[in-house]
Amino acid sequence: MADSAKARFRTLLILGAPGSGKGTQGLVLGQIPRFHHLACGDVFRSLDTRTPLGQKFVQYSSRGELVPDDVTVALWRANITQRVDSHAFKPEIDLLVLDGIPRNVEQARLMEADIEVLKVFHLSCPDRAELARRLRKRALKDNRFDDASEAVIQNRFATYEAETKPILEHYAGARVVNIDASQSPARVMHDILGHVLQLPAWQEIERMNV
Ligand code: AMP
């Protein structure tokens, strides 16, 4: 796929602690024509848990830890290639919306040849008690075993602080936008779209009118 001769996917990253609403925002954005949403956690959850990779996912996620970078990026690459090949994602006319990947600086480096990061939306919510409340609610509704235990929730927060948050430094500058994730999902979406509409890449897509 994206070798040096090929254009990188024009990408928006949604970053935030577990429970900050990444998935919700990604899902809504992905419903709008010319945005293509990919949630890495969903790709992992779609794996057959009897396969070695599926087992690996259960092993790490049940502890609130990240799956190792090499297998994660390889899985992501295989998945996005499939989407391009089936024309579900059309890189010439779509923006890619990634949630849950890259999840640390090493993954960001490994994906540098594949994605051109236009904006990083940091869904910021310092109130961890509120995030934990959202996760417990989701655990019941969506059967998410990794959100069901208090110890795993706390470990997911710790993993986010230690491994994922440094990505903000990696992409530091105008590309990073802080969004108040304690707002209603509608307001968060309004804020994100306000920034997206200003992007030259997005305006170019609009002009193509496909
Ligand atoms: P999420 O649905 O994004 O909260 O992801 C659920 C779990 O899947 C995480 O706690 C990790 O164990 C695993 N996971 C998802 N995305 C990644 C990633 N980019 N790198 C490593 N592990 C991941």
Would you say the CB of residue 114 lies under 6 angstroms from ligand 1? no
The predicted model scores a pTM of 0.94
Would you say the CB of residue 100 lies under 6 angstroms from ligand 1? yes
Burial (CB < 10 A; 0-12, 13-18, 19+), residue 179, is: buried
Report which of 112, 51, 118, 42 is spatially closest to residue 83, judged by C-alpha positions: 42
Cα separation, 92 vs 95, whole angstroms = 8
Would you say the CB of residue 19 lies under 6 angstroms from ligand 1? no
Would you say residue 128 has pLDDT above 70?
yes
Quickly state the pLDDT bin for 5 (edges 50, 70, 90): low
Q: Is the dihedral of CA 85, 87, 92, 94 positive or negative?
A: negative
CA angle 55–30–175, rounded 5-degree value: 95
Ligand 1 centroid–CA 127 distance in Å is 21
Query: 9-208: what fold?
Result: Rossmann fold (3.40.50)
pLDDT of residue 209: 85
